[in-house]
Amino acid sequence: MSVLVESKGRMRPGLVVLQVICILVCVVMLTPLLMSFFASVKAPGESNLSPPNYLPQVWSIANYAKIFTYQAGLGVYVWNSLSTALLSRATASERRLERRKRSSTIWRVGREQNDR
């Protein structure tokens, strides 16, 4: 039997309130994402209207097609980000290994001195 449901099959009133609050928080958190998505699929002239239309009248994916040809192109930007991330991760891993080797060497030397 579920913890949320009492023995008679009814939900606890406090849990109903908690679920409503959680749903409201989710709606508040997702609203900016949805608004950004709707703005991204608007036609170029439609995004500058005053007062703004929140839902696009004409759906267009031209903005998404444009990011592949904008300046150097999306592929170059993604490659730069990935290569920087991978190189920094490799450098950090190498430094961590060097520290482990150094600390294990110091520990062994200290132990050998204590054994004498």
Q: Which residues of 4-38 are buried (b: 16+ CB within 10 A; e: fewer)?
A: eeeeeeeeeeeeeeeeeeeeeeeeeeeeeeeeeee
Model pLDDT, residue 4: 54
Owner of token pair 């950090």: 92
The answer to whether the CB of 24 falls within 8 A of the CB of 43 is no
pLDDT, one tens digit per residue, over 4-55 is: 555 566 778 889 899 999 999 999 999 999 999 999 999 888 888 888 888 8
Q: Distance between CA atoms of 34 and 55, rounded to whole angstroms?
A: 10
pLDDT, one tens digit per residue, over 51-74 is: 888 889 889 888 888 888 888 888
